[in-house]
Amino acid sequence: MGSNLIDLLFIFMLACFIGFEVIRHVSPLLHTPLMSLTNALDAIAVVGAIVLVGERKSTFATVLGVIAIVAATSNVVGGFFITDRMLKMFKSSRPSK
């Protein structure tokens, strides 16, 4: 799997650069919703837990996996929900175009 590792490292490097570029331009007004959004996206880790639980390889793994799914899903649902609530609050005093 040697070549695969290098591919993954390329992707990681590119993603880091993209991350820096994109985040740099986020207005400081939105830093709080940014954090809750990135946290919700980060909960994509749930997919690892889903496969773990679905494969049913061992009871131990399944138990840990279910707890992991609960924790991550809570972040997904709660994170998007609260980010949306926050963004709804931002209104401009200028009339919208």
Partner 1 sequence: MTEFAGSQYVIEVIYLVASALFILSLKWMSSPATARHGILAGEIGMVLAIAGTLLHHGIVDYKWIAVGLVLGSGIGIPLGMVHMTAVPQRTALSHAFGALCVTLVGTAEFYLGTQSNSKFGLSVLSMEVILGGLTFTGSLMAAGKLQEFLPQRPITYKGQNLVNFLLFGVAVGSAVYLVLHPEAKLFFPLIVGVSLIFGVLLVIPIGGADMPTVISLLNGYAGLSAAAMGFVLQNKLLIIAGALDGSSGLILSVIMSKAMNRSFSNVLFGAFGQVQASAGGGQEAKPVHSATAEEAAAILAAANKVVIVPGYGMAVAQAQHKVRELYDILSKKGVDVRFAIHPVAGRMPGHMNVLLAEADIPYDRLIEMDEINGDFPQTDVALVIGANDVTNPAARSDAASPIYGMPILDVDKAHTVMVIKRGMSPGFAGIDNPLYYLNNTLMLFGDAKQFVGAIVRELSGGH
Q: How many residues form the binding site for partner 1 (CB under 8 A)?
A: 82
As a whole number of angstroms, the distance between CA 48 and CA 71 comes to: 13
Nearest 5 degrees, angle CA 58-CA 60-CA 63?
Answer: 110
6 makes contact with partner 1 (CB under 8 A): no
Q: How far is the CB of 74 from partner 1 (least distance, A)?
A: 4
Site residues (CB under 8 A) for partner 1, limited to 25-54? 25-54
Q: How far is the CB of 2 from partner 1 (least distance, A)?
A: 9
**x/- track of binding to partner 1 for residues 54-93 (CB under 8 A):** xxxxx-xxx-xxxxxxxxxxxxxxxxxxxxxxxxxxxxxx
Which residues, at least 6 apart from 50, have a Cβ–Cβ distance to it below 8 Å? 65, 69
Q: How far is the CB of 81 from partner 1 (least distance, A)?
A: 3
Q: How far is the CB of 6 from partner 1 (least distance, A)?
A: 11
CA distances from 22 to 12, 15, 25, 26 (A): 15, 10, 6, 7
